[in-house]
Amino acid sequence: MDVNGWELVRKENTVFAWPANLAADTDILLDQMQVVYAGIRVGELLRDKLVPDHALALSNLTRNDIEKTDLDEEQAIRYLQKKEFQWPGQSKGWQQASYKGHSIGWANVLPNRFNNYYPKELRILKDK
């Protein structure tokens, strides 16, 4: 599927976005080589739903109508530490967490809490 010059490629349960002009080469590369990382990782298909990848949040491929919740400095730091805090948005579902208008990751907002999808291996370990 071609989306604004990017081709969506599925390899097992992972979806990648590759520049459309390179899409013909993806099958050969993915079948013949052990590809660790290529293109922009869009997400993982789990139980017929796409769980967006952190790389997608940081890319310019997300649509403008995806809800973004701008966090203040304290909330952003707690988000990056994967610590609990009160989510400031009212809407439910997948949202981009942002700080000063820049996306920093994903959150899945549920009725009484939110799930922080910031990669555990990237989290800030040190307190202020």
- Given a cut of 80, whether residue 27 has pLDDT beyond it is no
Task: Please indicate, yes or no, whether residues 39 and 77 belong to a single structural domain of this protein.
Answer: no
Cβ neighbourhood burial of 9 (10 Å; 0-12, 13-18, 19+):
buried
Contact between 38 and 29 (Cβ < 8 Å): yes
Task: Please indicate, yes or no, whether residues 13 and 33 belong to a single structural domain of this protein.
Answer: yes
Task: Please indicate, yes or no, whether residues 20 and 58 belong to a single structural domain of this protein.
Answer: yes
Q: Count structural domains, the chain.
A: 2
Task: Please indicate, yes or no, whether residues 119 and 69 belong to a single structural domain of this protein.
Answer: yes
Mean pLDDT of 87-113: 93
Task: Please indicate, yes or no, whether residues 45 and 85 belong to a single structural domain of this protein.
Answer: no
Task: Please indicate, yes or no, whether residues 77 and 48 belong to a single structural domain of this protein.
Answer: no
Task: Please indicate, yes or no, whether residues 34 and 73 belong to a single structural domain of this protein.
Answer: no
pLDDT digits (tens, 9 = 90+) for 35-72: 777 789 999 999 989 999 999 999 988 888 889 999 99
Distances (CA, A) of 96 to 56, 99, 101, 116, 118: 10, 10, 10, 10, 10
pTM of the model: 0.84
Domain boundary among 35, 62, 89: 62
Domain boundary among 25, 41, 62: 62
**Residue 61 has what pLDDT?**
86
Mean pLDDT of the chain: 89
Task: Please indicate, yes or no, whether residues 84 and 127 belong to a single structural domain of this protein.
Answer: yes
**Residue 2 has what pLDDT?**
54
